[in-house]
Amino acid sequence: MGQFFKFVLATVVGLVVFSGLGFVLLLILIAVGKSAGDDKAVASNSVLELKLDKPITERQEPRGFGASNSIGLLNLRQAIAQAKGDDDIKGIMLSLSAVQGGMASLTEVRDALLDFKKSGKFVVAYSDGMTEKSYYLASVANAIYLHPQGALEFNGLSSEVTFFKNLLDKSGIDVQIFRVGSFKSAVEPFFRTSFSDSARAQAVSYLNSINNDMIGRVAASRSIGVPRLHVISDSMLVHSAPDALRLGLVTKLGYYDEVLDYLRGKLGTAKDKKPSIVSLSDYHEGGEKSQREGSTDSSNRIAVIYAEGDIVGGNGSDNSIGGDKFAEAIRKARLDDKVKAVVLRVNSPGGSSLASDVIYREVMLTKKVKPIIASMGDVAASGGYYISMACDTIVAQPNTITGSIGVFGLIPNLQKLLGEKLGITVDRVETGKFSDFPTVTRPLTE
């Protein structure tokens, strides 16, 4: 028995020692990695690669121990602006596939690339298959390479909605709807089988607006007439990579190694040498380090507060706007004497009217003591517009979807489904006529 306890004790001690050493080793590796990252410098005669294979969001998600799942719009724009004045960066390579981002965000990226080209530096784009959004960015490039077996989508924009009324009727589910505003179409799938006239009108309006703006910008970059691009799109003339080349939408059909040859020619790199390419993440980390080293404790600051996602009550989450938490952030900026102005960066379709009003109140209080400006991203609708309209100034992109078109609420009534379809009955005891409100087991009385 004594030997057994000795063995157990030795095992426990060994595990503790091993865990401690492992933890110390991990800290050393992190420190070494950080040191290596801090010492990282961009080689002269380099190309900045923008690999846009993740969703473009307002803020880049923290990476922690893994790679980020998104690309921050601000990070992207800052990197492009920095590269414009960086003598070590000679050009930008766009690696594109199915670009994920709203049209307003992509327009900001595109404008940044156009500004970059004013320095005389080049932009080249490569893809093995492009959507309309991908091509919208690629069209700004000096040279566009498409894989010989690739595809390019250029056939216009569409909006498709699924309607559930017939299914709900068959299931015995009655959806009781409260709606203010004929254009508040979010509830239509529950009581209609197709678009209402107002819903169709607004969808046609914003799709045509976005499509016309996109085609106009592509036409200017590719030196193709707007009417011609409309014909290409409306007739769906692009079925293959050779079609895209024949119609002048791309510069060349080629493979990735041929793009590298193009870069060698631009950089003057020997054929047996790989061109120096720096990734967005490495370049942005270096830029952040320079900004930190050059920053000072200024008494004249501008607070930028991001409002991205649905507006909800409480603190919300990383993907939503919590009314209480967001209002607290505005309040903190208002009470900070070092903050001289506030910018609300809004990218939200709306949400809770109560949470929106909590935020609205803080915006109104703030504008009494310092300037507060709303900067709209891809969408600032309903509650997103409500919190924006209180600001001193509202700035939007040409492709921002914005407006306030009403409010809605809905309560399903499952009485028929439960009683007639499933054989389930419900009984209740209550102290008042409406004590069970809101209930889904009986219809509303008034």
pLDDT at 144 over 90: yes
The tokens describing 230, both together, are 């409309």
Predicted local distance difference test score (pLDDT) of residue 41: 66
pLDDT at 16 over 60: no
How far from 251 is each of 150, 215, 224, CA to CA, in Å?
A: 14, 18, 13
Q: For 130-145, b where at least 16 C-beta lie within 10 A, e where not — what string? A: bbbbbbbbbbbbbbbb
| DSSP three-state, residue 422 | coil
The tokens describing 61, both together, are 């998600």
The residue annotated as part of the active site, out of 184, 266, 352, 375, is 184
Domain extents for the chain? Answer: 45-59+70-154+238-290, 297-399
61 vs 307: CA distance, rounded Å: 14
pLDDT (mean) for 9-28: 50
CATH superfamily for domain 45-59+70-154+238-290: 2-enoyl-CoA Hydratase; Chain A, domain 1 (3.90.226.10)
Residue whose token pair is 């070494």: 32
Q: What is the CA radius of gyration of the chain?
A: 28
Per-residue pLDDT tens over the stretch 21-52: 555 444 544 444 444 444 456 889 999 999 99
433 is catalytic: no
The residue annotated as part of the active site, out of 221, 320, 356, 382, is 382
Backbone angles phi, psi at 315, to 5 degrees: -90, -15
> Which segments of 235-304 does DSSP mark as H helices, in order?
241-246, 256-267, 280-294
| Beta bridge mates, 310 | 320
> Which segments of 336-441 does DSSP mark as H helices, in order?
353-367, 383-389, 415-416
Predicted local distance difference test score (pLDDT) of residue 137: 97
Do 45-59+70-154+238-290 and 297-399 come out as alike in CATH topology? yes
Per-residue pLDDT tens over the stretch 161-171: 999 999 999 99
**CB 140, CB 110: distance < 8 Å:** yes
Predicted local distance difference test score (pLDDT) of residue 38: 47
Q: What is the mean pLDDT of the chain?
A: 88
- The answer for residues whose C-beta is within 8 angstroms of residue 26's C-beta and 6 or more apart is none
Q: For residue 197, with 0-12 CB atoms within 10 Å meaning exposed, 13-18 middle and 19 or more buried, which class applies?
A: exposed
184 is catalytic: yes
Predicted local distance difference test score (pLDDT) of residue 20: 54
Predicted local distance difference test score (pLDDT) of residue 21: 53
Per-residue pLDDT tens over the stretch 199-251: 999 999 999 999 999 999 999 999 999 999 999 999 999 999 999 999 999 99
The matching CATH number, chosen from 3.40.50.300, 3.60.90.10, 3.90.226.10, 3.30.450.20, for 297-399 is 3.90.226.10
Q: For residue 97, with 0-12 CB atoms within 10 Å meaning exposed, 13-18 middle and 19 or more buried, which class applies?
A: middle
Per-residue pLDDT tens over the stretch 265-278: 999 999 989 999 99
Per-residue pLDDT tens over the stretch 304-351: 999 999 999 998 887 899 999 999 999 999 999 999 999 999 999 999
pTM to 2 decimal places = 0.84
**CB 189, CB 175: distance < 8 Å:** no
Predicted local distance difference test score (pLDDT) of residue 371: 97
Q: Helix, strand, coil shares of the chain as percentages rounded to 5?
A: 45, 20, 35
